[in-house]
């Protein structure tokens, strides 16, 4: 079974691997049922979805009557005003077929203008705090992409006591000196305040080549080599401060779960640099023009 750890100050011990339910967004219910059965089998007890993930909330909702007690259930809103965030939360509760979610997250809060609206009077943060007081949600988090997000999360934590953050984290991502410094500052801050840290893009290889004509189940190309993917996962999970969210490409799920099960020796830098060279691993975010994805 997968190892677990306290999910920040929420009181829940989450599996170190969190299921990224974007993978369910375009699936038939029958296939989603197969994936969710794997989670039960392997001990994944934390689901992370979003209002924007296609049909994901609906696919999970079919399971909640029988399995709600087994999962820490998280979703996200991309709305920035209070009224819109409240409406989207209520829609998510309906689609998930639950009366309460364990975590509602502000989805990809990185742009300055959106940040000001969300944190301002009548913004999403105040509305979600009110929803928490009403018992519709238990905890509130914030997520994001790109090389600015670790710094923006630090600003968000200055403004509001979020219970969790989510950001890209991989060996290749932190080869960027500026991003690594921001991430380390964020990890230290979160450890001190007992804020849970979720990480994404652990097994990203690169952006899809323009001439790629095959199927795409995530917006980036994941590592296809099992050994390289295993080392990428173990590099992340060797840091006890973080959780790893699985890819939206469900074909990678078993590789990630296998890598996370049991002992987690941290790969050496030489091993990881060899993977970078052999498999052409590239940073996904290299400039501000890329960060809105």
Q: Is the pLDDT of residue 235 over 60?
A: yes
What's the rounded Cα separation, in Å, for the pair 17 and 95? 24
CA neighbor of 203 nearest in space, from 165, 239, 257, 166? 257
Q: Is the pLDDT of residue 292 over 60?
A: no
Widest CA span of the chain, in angstroms? 53
Q: Is the pLDDT of residue 290 over 60?
A: no
State the average pLDDT for the chain. 93
What is the DSSP secondary-structure string of 127-175? HHHHHHHHTSEEEEEEE--STTHHHHHHHHHHHS--SEEEEE--TTGGG
Q: Per residue in 119-159, pLDDT tens?
A: 999 999 999 999 999 999 999 999 999 999 999 999 999 99
Query: By mean pLDDT, which of 40-49, 212-221, 262-271 is the weakest?
Result: 212-221
pLDDT in the model for residue 216: 64
Q: Is 189 exposed, middle or buried (0-12, 13-18, 19+ CB in 10 A)?
A: middle
What's the rounded Cα separation, in Å, for the pair 153 and 17? 21
Phi, psi (degrees; rounded to nearest 5) at 8? 60, -140
Q: At what angle do helices 124-134 and 112-119 cross, to 10 degrees?
A: 40
pLDDT in the model for residue 248: 86
Give every CB contact of residue 238 below 8 A, 6+ residues apart in sequence.
Answer: 264, 265, 266
CA neighbor of 175 nearest in space, from 285, 34, 33? 285
Q: Look up residue 47 and give its two tokens.
A: 């689901």
Instruction: Tell me the average pLDDT across 74-81.
Output: 98
- Is the domain 4-286 a CATH 3.20.20.100 member? yes
Q: Is the pLDDT of residue 182 over 50?
A: yes
Instruction: Tell me the average pLDDT across 60-77.
Output: 96
What is the DSSP secondary-structure string of 246-266? PPS-GGGHHHHHHHHSS--PP
Give every CB contact of residue 87 below 8 A, 6+ residues apart in sequence.
Answer: 79
């Amino acid at each position: 079974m997968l190892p677990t750890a306290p999910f920040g100050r929420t009181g829940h011990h989450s599996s170190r691997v969190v299921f990224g339910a974007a993978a369910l967004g375009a699936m038939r219910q029958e296939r989603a049922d197969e994936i969710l059965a794997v989670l039960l089998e392997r001990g994944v007890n934390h689901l992370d979805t979003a209002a924007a993930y296609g049909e994901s909330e609906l696919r999970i909702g079919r399971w909640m009557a029988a399995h709600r007690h087994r999962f820490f259930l998280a979703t996200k809103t991309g709305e920035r005003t209070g009224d819109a965030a409240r409406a989207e939360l209520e829609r998510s509760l309906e689609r998930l077929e639950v009366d309460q979610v364990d975590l509602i997250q502000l989805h990809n809060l990185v742009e300055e203008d959106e940040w000001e609206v969300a944190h301002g009077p009548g913004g999403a943060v105040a509305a979600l705090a009110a929803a928490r007081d009403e018992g519709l949600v238990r905890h509130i988090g914030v997520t994001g992409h790109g090389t600015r997000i670790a710094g923006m999360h630090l600003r968000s934590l200055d403004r509001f006591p979020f219970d969790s953050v989510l950001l890209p984290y991989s060996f290749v991502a932190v080869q960027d000196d500026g991003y690594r410094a921001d991430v380390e500052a964020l990890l230290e801050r979160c450890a001190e305040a007992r804020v849970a840290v979720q990480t994404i893009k652990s097994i990203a290889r690169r952006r899809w080549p323009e001439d790629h004509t095959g199927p795409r189940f995530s917006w980036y190309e994941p590592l296809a080599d099992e050994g390289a993917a295993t080392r990428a996962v173990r590099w992340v999970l060797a840091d006890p401060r973080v959780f790893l969210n699985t890819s939206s490409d469900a074909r990678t799920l078993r590789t990630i779960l296998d890598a996370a099960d049991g002992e987690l020796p941290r790969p050496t830098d030489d091993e990881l640099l060899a993977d970078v060279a052999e498999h052409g691993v590239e940073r996904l975010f290299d400039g501000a023009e890329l960060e809105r994805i």
